Structures are given as structure tokens and as C-alpha cells.
């Protein structure tokens, strides 16, 4: 049931997506990614853009592709089958399939250029607009490099540096700030770099089991691997978010962080290709400045990360709980009194090592879920008792569920049943 923390942002994004085109036009005029007009570009230090004289000829792209062993992909927007003009022609069956699955993250993961935050597509190839509306590249990257290793990163960085082309790093396309796309860009597409290994790690600051994960590993894949080795690794709530990319580099919130710290705090080592094309290892003892910058400085800000190695923790039991109540049938004071009681309980919940994801709307309040590693069900129930007492005193109907699971993965799977994102959002 748990939703990703970006739910509200996503709701906003989907509103904009389906909102009037006029709104979109206005919004995009001030979008930070809007490419400047050609005349402005010529006299500025902006990137070379398709159509500019500096844009490489076809033979340069072909030569680049050969150095990559054929891993260069020219972008065909994901919704091209829903439109008549450009790219492959309209295909009713493929368009229907796409429309029916568009709101599931999985639809976008295997595509080399798609993004889940619709705001950043500029509506240039929207599957829900009529077939007669043209489909153009718009804010999609021009090319993606299906990277397998650091040398693919280095070749792509060298090519984009040489030709002054915008570079984007994209894994799954979850980035809600639009960083996984960019008009006129070449992207390093990290999604297929899936290797994971458990190592006996020894450094000045940490000795123990550590997980080395390549750039394309998703949260759920990391959790399943850790579970199979009897350890826990710190990741987020959304199963398909990449754990190595902007998630960990940007801080990394998730169900286990009250007890163990943020995902960025777990990183022992980054393998990273710098803007100058050097492959470096950054640890607290080596390339320290880069190490600390990557531990929270934002995805892709300081380099293109090839892998990270993270601390793990011995597996423990995990208790989880959900509670929900609505404000129908009683007054707002009682509703907010109950909400206040939960908020007063949060410090003790966090002190006990629980992460409590809660959501309030004008109609309802829900905790979905609270996750407490190493805490018994009875102790978690006690932490919710003040709220339950309050609800019972005011005769407010509520639904409370709690359970103790043998492993974190079982708790995560039970509390994060695949959520149908079709109505409200593109990413989860």
C-alpha cells in the first residue's frame, strides 16, 4: 500500500499533464530546461543543439556508434505509435497498449528515453493527445548510449565534450526534477548495469559485509539480493527507483533510515567517471572531496557514478503498521485532534527506529506504513496507542493493522503491494 513520497508532487504533475494546453505553454516558457532561441545560443556559451551548424554530421554519429560497439540509440519518443507524423507511423494496437500501461513505472524503465514526470516532456509526444497532433523529440534526449561499463561513460563524455553537447545521465526515468531528460542531449543510459555482489569490506571506518551495486540496480533488486544473503541494505520506498543514482546521491530516504541513517550515509565507496573522463574511486580516504560531494550533493552533479558500495546490516525482524481514518461524520476539531496526537507521537516512534509515512488530505489521514526494524509488534502497537485512545474517546472509526515480519523484505512486500498508479501519477 505504501506510496512513494513523491505522491503529492506526482499528483501535481499529472494535473499539469492533463490540464489545459495554455497552462502548459505558460509553464514551459519559464521552465529552466527550455532551450534558448538560436540567436541567443550563438552569442552565449550554451550547448550545441540539433539544427545548429556545430551539431555533428551523420558520419560522426556513426563513428561514435562504432566506438561504442553499436550501443548508440537514436530516440524514438515512447508515444510515437500514437501519432501520425514523424517516427514510425500510427499503430492503434501499440498506442492502446501504451495508454493502458502508461501510468506504471515499468512501462518506462526499458525505454531508452522516456521520463515518468510528464511536466518534462513538454507535451511534444503525448500519447493521450489525438493522432493528428505531431510527435516531436521536444525535451527528449536526441540519443541514448546503452552503457555497460565505465568505458562507455568515458566515450560518451569525450564525445559530448568535444562537440559541446548536453549530457544527461538516466537510469529508470524516475527523476521528478526532469534530470533524466534534456532537449538536444546525449544520455548515458545506465539501466542495464545490474551487477550486485556482497563483499567482506574492510576500511578505516567500516569492517563488515558490504554490497557493491552497479549503476542500474533498482531498489527492489537490491532488497531481494540482500535478503538472499541474510543482510539488509538501505533503500527507498519505490521498488523501481535506481538505488545508485540520484536516490543515494541525493540523500536517500526510506523505511529503514530512522534506525540506520540515510542511504548516502551507507556509502563506503563510489566508482565515478568525472567530467574530464577519469574513472576514480572515491572513499573517505581517497578522493575525499568527491566522496563527500557524492554523498548527498545530488544525482549527476559531480560525476557519472558507475557503482557504489554500501554498508549492510544483519537481517532482523521488522514490524509494520498502517492506520487510516476519515473526517466524515464528525467535526474537524476531532479529526485534527487525532492528527495532532499522532504528530506528538512521532518523536518517540522515530527514537524507536521507526519510519512513519503519513499523508493528510482534507478528507482523510493515513499512515502507510510505519516500518520498525528490530521492534516487536507489541512495542509498535504501544507507540500507536495514544492515537488509538484518542480515536476511541471521540468514537472516530479507524482501521489499524500491524504485523511482525521475519524479514525486512517480507514487510516491504506486504506493505508495498504493487500500487496502481494509473489514476494519479506517472512515477511511484
Ligand X SMILES: *[C@@H]1O[C@H](CO)[C@@H](O)[C@H](O)[C@H]1NC(C)=O
Question: Residue 408 CB, nearest distance to ligand X (Å)?
Answer: 25
| Site residues (vs ligand X, CB under 6 A) | 25, 28, 35, 65, 70, 72, 74, 122, 124, 136, 138-139, 183, 420, 422-423
Closer CB to ligand X, residue 129 or residue 280? 129
Identity of the residue, 239 or 254, whose beta carbon is nearer to ligand X in the bound complex: 239
Assess contact for 37 and 51: CB atoms under 8 A: no
CB of 15 to ligand X, least distance (A): 17
Q: Treating both helix axes as pointing N-terminal to C-terminal, what angle do 377-393 and 332-351 enclose, rounded to 10 degrees?
A: 160
Cα separation, 213 vs 201, in Å, equals: 14
Judge whether 320 and 369 are in contact, CB under 8 Å. Answer: yes
Q: How far is the CB of 33 from ligand X (least distance, A)?
A: 9
Residue listed under C-alpha cell 544527461: 168
Name the closest residue to ligand X (Cβ): 70
Nearest distance from C-beta of residue 136 to ligand X, angstroms: 6
* Angle, vertex CA 394, rays to CA 393 and CA 400, nearest 5: 80
Please say which residue, 183 or 256, places its beta carbon nearer to ligand X: 183
What's the closest the beta carbon of residue 123 comes to ligand X, in angstroms? 7
In the complex with ligand X, which residue's Cβ is closer, 28 or 330? 28
Please report the DSSP string for 123-151 in residue order: TTT-TTS-TTS----TTS-SEEEE--SHH
Query: Toward ligand X, which CB reaches closer, 124 or 249?
Result: 124
60/422 with CB nearer ligand X: 422
Among 220, 233, 219, CA closest to 312: 233
Residue 3 beta carbon to ligand X: minimum distance, rounded to whole angstroms: 14
Least distance (Å) between residue 145 CB and ligand X: 10
**Number of neighbouring beta carbons within 10 Å of residue 266:** 25
Task: Report the b/e string of 25-35 with b at 16+ CB within 10 A.
Answer: eeebeeeebeb
**Closest to ligand X by CB, 231 or 426:** 426
User: Long-range contacts: 280-289, Cβ < 8 Å, 24+?
Assistant: 283/203, 284/203, 284/204, 284/205, 285/203, 285/204
Amino acid at each position: 500500500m505504501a506510496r512513494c513520497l513523491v505522491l503529492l508532487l506526482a499528483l501535481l504533475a499529472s494535473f499539469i499533464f492533463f490540464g489545459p494546453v495554455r497552462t502548459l505553454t505558460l509553464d514551459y516558457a519559464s521552465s529552466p530546461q527550455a532551450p534558448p532561441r538560436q540567436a541567443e545560443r550563438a552569442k552565449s556559451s550554451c550547448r550545441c543543439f540539433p539544427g545548429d551548424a556545430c551539431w555533428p554530421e551523420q558520419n560522426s554519429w556513426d563513428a561514435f556508434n562504432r566506438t561504442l560497439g553499436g550501443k548508440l540509440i537514436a530516440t524514438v519518443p515512447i508515444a510515437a505509435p500514437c501519432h501520425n507524423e514523424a517516427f514510425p507511423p500510427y499503430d492503434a494496437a501499440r498506442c492502446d497498449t501504451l495508454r493502458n500501461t502508461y501510468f506504471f513505472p515499468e512501462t518506462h524503465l526499458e525505454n531508452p528515453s522516456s521520463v515518468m514526470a510528464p511536466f518534462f516532456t513538454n507535451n511534444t509526444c503525448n500519447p493521450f493527445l489525438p493522432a493528428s497532433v505531431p510527435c516531436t523529440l521536444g525535451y527528449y534526449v536526441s540519443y541514448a548510449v546503452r552503457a555497460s561499463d565505465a568505458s562507455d561513460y568515458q566515450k560518451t563524455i569525450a564525445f559530448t565534450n568535444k562537440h559541446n553537447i548536453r549530457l544527461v545521465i538516466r537510469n529508470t526515468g524516475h527523476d521528478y526534477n526532469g534530470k533524466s531528460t534534456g532537449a538536444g542531449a546525449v544520455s548515458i543510459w545506465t539501466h542495464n548495469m545490474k551487477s550486485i555482489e556482497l563483499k567482506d569490506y574492510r576500511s578505516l571506518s567500516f569492517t563488515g559485509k558490504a554490497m557493491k551495486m552497479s549503476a542500474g540496480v533498482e531498489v527492489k533488486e537490491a532488497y531481494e539480493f540482500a535478503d538472499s544473503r541474510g543482510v539488509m541494505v538501505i533503500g527507498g520506498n519505490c521498488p523501481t527507483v535506481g538505488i545508485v543514482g540520484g536516490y543515494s546521491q541525493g540523500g536517500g530516504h526510506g523505511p529503514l533510515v530512522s534506525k540506520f541513517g540515510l542511504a548516502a550515509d551507507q556509502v563506503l565507496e563510489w566508482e565515478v567517471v568525472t567530467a574530464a573522463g577519469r574513472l576514480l574511486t572515491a572513499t573517505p580516504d581517497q578522493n575525499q572531496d568527491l566522496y563527500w560531494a557524492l554523498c548527498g550533493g545530488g544525482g549527476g552533479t559531480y560525476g557519472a557514478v558507475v557503482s557504489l558500495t554500501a554498508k549492510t546490516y544483519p537481517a532482523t525482524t521488522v514490524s509494520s503498521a498502517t492506520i487510516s481514518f476519515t473526517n466524515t461524520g464528525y467535526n474537524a476539531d476531532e479529526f485534527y485532534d487525532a492528527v495532532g496526537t499522532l504528530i506528538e507521537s512521532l518523536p518517540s516512534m522515530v527514537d524507536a527506529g521507526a519510519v512513519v509515512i503519513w499523508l493528510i488530505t482534507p478528507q482523510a489521514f493515513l499512515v502507510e506504513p510505519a516500518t520498525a526494524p528490530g521492534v516487536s509488534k507489541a512495542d509498535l502497537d504501544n507507540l500507536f496507542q495514544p492515537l488509538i485512545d484518542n480515536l476511541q474517546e471521540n468514537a472516530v472509526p479507524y482501521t489499524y493493522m500491524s504485523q511482525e515480519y521475519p524479514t525486512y523484505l517480507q514487510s516491504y512486500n506486504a506493505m508495498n503491494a504493487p500500487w496502481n498508479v494509473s489514476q494519479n501519477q506517472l512515477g511511484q
